[in-house]
Structure 1
Amino acid sequence: MNQSIGIVLVSHSAHLASGLRELLAQIGSDRVPVAAAGGTRDGGIGTSYDLILAAIAEADRGHGVVILPDLGSSVLTALAVLEDHPRADVLLVDAPFVEGAVAAAVTAAAGADLAAVADAARQARGVAKFDDGSGPGSAPEPEVPVRSSSQVTLPANLHARPAGKLAQEAAKFSSDIRLEYGGRSIDPTGVLAVMSLGATLGSTVTVHAEGQDADTAIRTLTRILAEAE
């Protein structure tokens, strides 16, 4: 039985929604049911109440559904569906359409619950795609004093699946945790933040942790990194 949170992609374009679903299938897992509700029922540009309602049913495996709209009327139509069919386990999430969907799918594939999947999608809003030197986010982050640290040479690229597993496990610890690579330091509880490091096969990643469970966090996260494939 599928135990994953479901994801519904609501877009004005059927091609956009189906294309994103195809992308998620490549980087996610067969455990994550993703349904596309794109365009109108007659194939035009717009959104459809009936298609969204059907997509929720398609993605629902009894553990909750996250709805990700693209813009404008997709939000309004999804809200109308939820107003007529209220459910506590179906959430409309305000997140970047592509990045939020990727974060949600990877987190759901790791076995996270509804709240964690929705939060992962929301966190995608604050993750820069690259450092272009134009904003305050490009400034070096203040050095964080650490209690424990470890370096790992990656046996594979730090792509979506190991990044999702790392983020899921990092969120379980109370310690402050940082992941360093290429002169950058990020909070590894966000899957897109981990993926944005661009760490590749053979590169060295450093894990820092400060707090009561820092040693356990270091051992757990370095093991995940060392077993990436």
Structure 2
Amino acid sequence: MNQSIGIVLVSHSAELASGLRDLLAQIGSDRVPVAVAGGTEDGGLGTSYDRIVAAIAEADRGAGVIVLPDLGSSVLTTLAVLEDHPRTDVLLVDAPFVEGAVAAAVTAAAGADLSAVAEAARQARGIMKVESFEPAAAPAAAADAAAEPEHPQGASAAVTLPATLHARPAGRLAQEAAKFASTIRIEYGGKSVNPTGVLAVMSLGATIGGTVTVHAEGQDADSAVKTLAAILAEVE
């Protein structure tokens, strides 16, 4: 795909929408067109029909646009715009405003199509910010304990983080991981995630001095591991 999916951020607050747009640029998704429709024409809090129409036109590069509203009237006003200007390539997406925008922007930057970008934003709803602690599971039966665990064939590398794994390198990891055909997992602190999801990577909570292990299985496993390990080694 030559053109990226566009993203429109609809918020009651111009500052909130603009700040989120700045965040998306900082995590390495600055090539994704992001337009904002925040506040009213007179600078107050609220949503503007005309600003949403203009933002959709600004974000449109021919590949489609997703619209992410924050709450309340931003949803209703966006629905009114899409009813008056129906297009199959402009989607109103029900997703967390910040997390959905981050997931959508990184997915769009990797060259995904409209449906994939929209789905990435929706899936952000299921990413936990804080782990809940549950009682440890009962010990496995002796036969299960004796069985050797399955380890996929492929490549792996362990990297000691020189800094905390924050949004920008997580975005780079997600973009690069999406380019490989191999199945990739990143492990930290007993958790394992698919690195093609930026929010999943961030949910690891990997901090400076911690060890992150990259596993890959498939035809380009070696290249995948080397590429992602290099990104982790350069976190700053």
Give a deviation string over 1:76-108, Cα, whole Å, max 9, x none: 221221222223332211110011112222333
- The Cα of 1:181 is off from its aligned counterpart by 0.9
Structure 1, 214-223 or 157-166: larger mean CA deviation: 214-223
Q: Is the 8 A contact 1:110 1:164 kept in 2?
A: no
Aligned-residue sequence identity (percent) comes to 79
Pair 1:11-2:11 in alignment? yes
Structure 2 counterpart of 1:130? 130
Residues 155, 227 of structure 1: 8 Å contact kept: yes
The reply to whether residue 51 of structure 1 matches residue 51 of structure 2 is yes
What amino acid is the match of 2:197? G
Q: Which amino acid aligns with 2:57?
A: A
Cα distance in 1 for residues equivalent to 2:73 and 2:150 = 44
- Which entry has the higher C-alpha Rg, 1 or 2? 2
Q: State yes or no: 1:196 paired with 2:197.
A: no
Alpha-carbon distance, 1:56 to partner: 0.8
Following superposition, which runs of at least 4 residues in structure 1 exceed 6 angstroms of deviation?
A: none
Instruction: Indicate the residue corresponding to 2:33 in structure 1.
Output: 33
- Say how many residue pairs are matched: 223
Q: Specify the alignment match of 1:106 in structure 2.
A: 106
1:143-222 to structure 2, matched below 5 A, reads 145-148=151-154, 149-172=156-179, 175-210=182-217, 214-215=221-222, 217-222=224-229
Query: Could you say what the CA RMSD is over the residues aligned between the two structures, in angstroms?
Result: 3.1
Bigger shift: residues 116-125 or 155-164: 155-164
The CA distance in 1 between the partners of 2:21 and 2:175, in whole Å, is 22
Distance 1:92 1:144, change over 3 A: farther
Unmatched runs of 5 consecutive residues or more in structure 1? none
How many angstroms apart in 2 are the aligned matches of 1:228 and 1:110? 20
Measure, in 1, the Cα distance between the counterparts of 2:201 and 2:167.
9
Superposed displacement of residue 3, structure 1: 4.2
Is the Cα contact below 8 Å between 2:28 and 2:171 reproduced in 1?
Answer: no
Unaligned runs of 5+ in 2: 138-148
Amino acid at match of 1:41: E
Contact 1:28 1:160 in 2 (8 A): no
1:71 alignment partner, SS class: coil
- CA shift, 1:129, in A, is 1.1
The worse-fitting range, judged by mean Cα deviation, of 9-18 and 152-161 is 152-161
CA 1:152–1:223: 2 relative to 1, 3 Å: same
Q: CA deviation at 1:213?
A: 5.7
**Structure 1 counterpart SS, 2:152:** coil
Q: Is the 8 A contact 1:152 1:225 kept in 2?
A: yes
Instruction: Give the TM-score normalised by the residue count of structure 1.
Output: 0.79
Q: Is the 8 A contact 1:147 1:214 kept in 2?
A: no
Aligned partner letter, 2:203: S
Change (3 A) 1:3 1:160: farther
Query: Residue 227 of structure 1: CA displacement?
Result: 5.0
Q: 3-state DSSP class of the match of 1:32? A: coil
